[in-house]
Amino acid sequence: MSSRRDFLKKASLFAGATALTNVIPESIQKALAIEAAPGSTYLDAEHIVFLMQENRSFDHCFGMLKGVRGFNDPRTYRGPDRVPVWHQTMDGEKSYGPFHLDIENTQVTWMGDLPHSWRDMVMARNNGKMDKWLLAKRPGNQKYRHIPLTMGYYERKDIPFYYAFADAFTVCDQHFCSSLTGTSANRSYFWTGTVRENPRDPNSVAHVDNGQINYRDLTWKTYPERLQEAGISWKVYQNELSLPVGLTGEEEDWLANFTDNNLEFHKQYQVKFHPAYQAYAKRRITEIEHELTVARYASQEAYQKVVDRLNNFKKDVEQFSASNFAKLSKVEQEIHERAFTTNTNDPDYHKLEKISYTANGKTVDVQVPKGDIFHQFRKDVQDNKLPAVSWLTAPCRFSDHPSSPWYGAWYVSETLDILTSNPEVWKKTIFVLTYDENDGYFDHAMPFVPPLSNKPETGRVAKGVDTQDEYVTVEQERIRTNNPEASLESPIGLGYRVPMVIASPWSKGGWVNSEVFDHTSSLQFMEHFFAKKTGKKVLETNISAWRRLVCGDLTSAFRPIPELKKPAIDFVDRNAYLGRIHAAKDKQLPGNFVEQDYKSIIREFQLDGVKHYGLGTQEKGTKLANAIPYDLDVNLQVDLSKQRLTMFFELAGKLKANKKIGVPLIVTNHTVYREQGNSFQAWNFAVKAGEQMSYSWDMQDFLDGRVSFTVYGPNGYFREFKLELNKLIPRIIGYQGKGQVWHLKVDGVKEDFLIKDLAYGMKDTLHKAGRTKVYSFDLQDSHGWYDFLVRPISNEQITYRFAGHVDHGKSSRTDPLMGS
């Protein structure tokens, strides 16, 4: 830290509390107060700073935040029983929904992490059913097995710094992690855009487990290498690497980078040249040689293991010596030094010290870093030497990982403090806070995944897009795991939603962005940014065609300076004291989860098919919403002569975007399809701007003569088509108009139809039999949001439902139904 006094002043942020009472956190105030040059845009920035923290889902952190698609989402994904995914069950009898985790009055932040690997992520998704969270994410600790921890969430009073941070800048509520995996694979997408040595070859092994990546001498190309080739400056800042350097126990947790810098795992960076590792290896050689002369071993095998360890250290010292480093090319030397920037110039960077504080009348001692874990980053900011791109990797204790108490707010706040300590730097900086994966914590947004392009029964994607590189088939899983009995098959991603906040002079104001992003969006942003700023094409060719199509490039989060206004931020009233988190260590377990009867819930939702599914617990009100380029229409047509149902997808592509835009969609059906007992199916789609796409089903495959299609898209886009196939089916089409106008064409109806607004206050309309008419709805009063039900007066089993937002190229507001 800059000083012990400064550390103590800010240490309340360890608890998630704000540094001052009754005010916006000081670091955020400073960032808001510094203005960029009048008329400037994000392309005038000179520095991009990324901080990827650990293992929190969006709902777990921000499900209660005003304006985002959180716990008041009215059109939530529904699984096989037509029940919204809020209601999870393990046995079909008991159900549990989201419940509040009290960070101060329970020991939740001391209870460790939940399962978060490839297998349990895929299990929770369950082939689009999204109904295995309680089973897949059950706590491993026997003391907590009875608690549905996966469903737990925090709210503003628990993590007020993060809520204030989101209120001040732009929070992205359609930001998904890249893969249905743990840390290292997701960070591989963040650094490199892929998890395969040969990204376009589906038979190149997918590295979806941490053990396939960490210190495995990967050889595929990384984005920092591309920056290096283009002459664009970059650095990765950390206090120390995770490669062994002699840190032990608490030292490792407070001082090393928690294996969060994936460049350590790529052969081309030659991490073992790291001076601290070389010094450690030499010490270990001396220690082991002494051990071999005095120790007695139980067997020759045990003795040989020690000898092998000694020889490995000797080999490393010889191969990665300072003299051999000098023989490397300039590029090889530079990428090593830039990737592994540590705080060697701080004499205390490998040390802890003990501090004391009083909590609940008790004096408590805690170990903390003695040095400044931001030393080099702080110095580069102060000396105006910050590179064009910086990545920060926090130690475990500051990473927000659930296996460690939630101290990460201090790290984020300190990053802001450092950047704003030099106003000339901050006014030209874009700071992106993101998270690698969701740990075992639930998020209600079904992740968008591709269909398998060589299996048309899984859905459809835009012309020319091959998605085989986005899948792990059963055969590939057996090869990957060397297990001939393996049966898992799954798309690799997208994974579940995780928080992202973009802080800069061009993204402040308390906005919400609802374009689909993943970890490759950061790479795509840099591609765009440096192409515009320098004229250089620094492309990450590892990114798949499907991912590049459906994931945006972050540019929609920025606005020119004249469009920005001072944000309306709620003050946080919280006493600042150091021991808030520590004092909770011995408190009660979380116990406010509610057990419900799952069968009663099924009956409730089967009786009310148009019910809004929000939980009604989220903060009230709306926020400003970024313009996003989704001028999307989806309609269903029936051809009785051919006995075919055809769904048409069209993304007009008339709205401003900095890249070729696509939209991912999920279609489900809740009737019996092709075989008895198969009463739920899911298909995946991706439509490209300017290209109409269609997909057809044979009517005879719906065995009970009914369909119940639901279409889910980004930002609350929703369509529902319930039809009885033996009835004469009208032609009903919904489509966007100019501005905030939405049109509905009704044709071929033989009886009166009702057009009913389910959410936004418009009067019912009666469409008379035998007429053809286009109805136009001006949606300005609802800020472009709509939710219309169309059905015959005499039959509630036939319904067309159209809901979502009319995007028209201008900023708007978030869904008022969520804010009510």
Residues 418-449 pLDDT 10s: 999 999 999 999 999 999 999 999 999 999 99
Encode pLDDT of 761-810 as tens digits.
999 999 999 999 999 999 999 999 999 999 999 988 899 999 999 999 99
The token pair that represents 408 in the structure block: 């990460």
Instruction: Tell me the pLDDT of the chain averaged across its residues.
Output: 92
List, by residue range, all CATH 3.40.720.10 domains of the chain.
4-261+372-563
Categorize the per-residue pLDDT at 601 as very low, low, confident or very high, splitting at 50, 70 and 90: confident
Give the pLDDT mean for 507-535: 98
Alpha-carbon distance 612 to 599, whole Å?
A: 19
Q: Which residue has the tokens 């909590």?
A: 359
Encode pLDDT of 337-391 as tens digits.
999 999 999 999 999 999 887 766 778 788 899 999 999 999 999 999 999 999 9
Cis peptide before 789 (omega within 30 of 0): no
Categorize the per-residue pLDDT at 560 as very low, low, confident or very high, splitting at 50, 70 and 90: confident
Categorize the per-residue pLDDT at 298 as very low, low, confident or very high, splitting at 50, 70 and 90: confident
pLDDT at position 587 is 60
What percent of the chain has a predicted confidence (pLDDT) above 90? 81
Please state whether the predicted TM-score (pTM) of the whole model is above 0.85.
yes
If residue 302 lies in a helix (H) or strand (E), which one and from where to where? helix 300-319
> Coil, strand or helix: which one is 300?
helix
For residues 773 and 560, the model is more confident at 773
DSSP string across 142-207: GGGTTS-GGGEE--TTTSHHHHHHHHHSEEETTBB-SSSS-HHHHHHHHHHS-SSSSTT-TTSPP-
Nearest to 668 by CA among 77, 74, 73, 69: 77
Alpha-carbon distance 527 to 702, whole Å?
A: 46
pLDDT at position 564 is 54
For residues 297 and 174, the model is more confident at 174
User: Please, what's the b/e burial string for 109-125 (b: 16 or more CB within 10 A of its CB; e: otherwise)?
Assistant: bbbebbbbbbbbbbbbb
Q: Which residue has the tokens 């039900």?
A: 789
What φ, ψ does residue 520 adopt, rounded to 5°?
-75, -15
Alpha-carbon distance 768 to 773, whole Å?
A: 10
Alpha-carbon 690 to chain mean position:
28
Pairing between β-strand 88-89 and β-strand 94-96 as defined by DSSP bridges: antiparallel
Nearest to 234 by CA among 146, 152, 341, 135: 341
CATH number of 4-261+372-563: 3.40.720.10
pLDDT at position 570 is 43
| Burial category of 298 from C-beta neighbours within 10 Å (exposed 0-12, middle 13-18, buried 19 and up) | exposed
Give CA separation, 627 vs 217, 298, 803, 809, 811, in Å. Answer: 42, 69, 18, 5, 4
* Residue 13 pLDDT greater than 80, yes or no: no
The token pair that represents 393 in the structure block: 């990797």
CB 786 within 8 A of CB 736: no
Encode pLDDT of 215-272 as tens digits.
999 999 999 999 999 999 999 999 999 999 999 989 999 999 999 999 999 999 999 9
H-assigned helices in 469-597: 474-481, 520-534, 545-550, 580-583
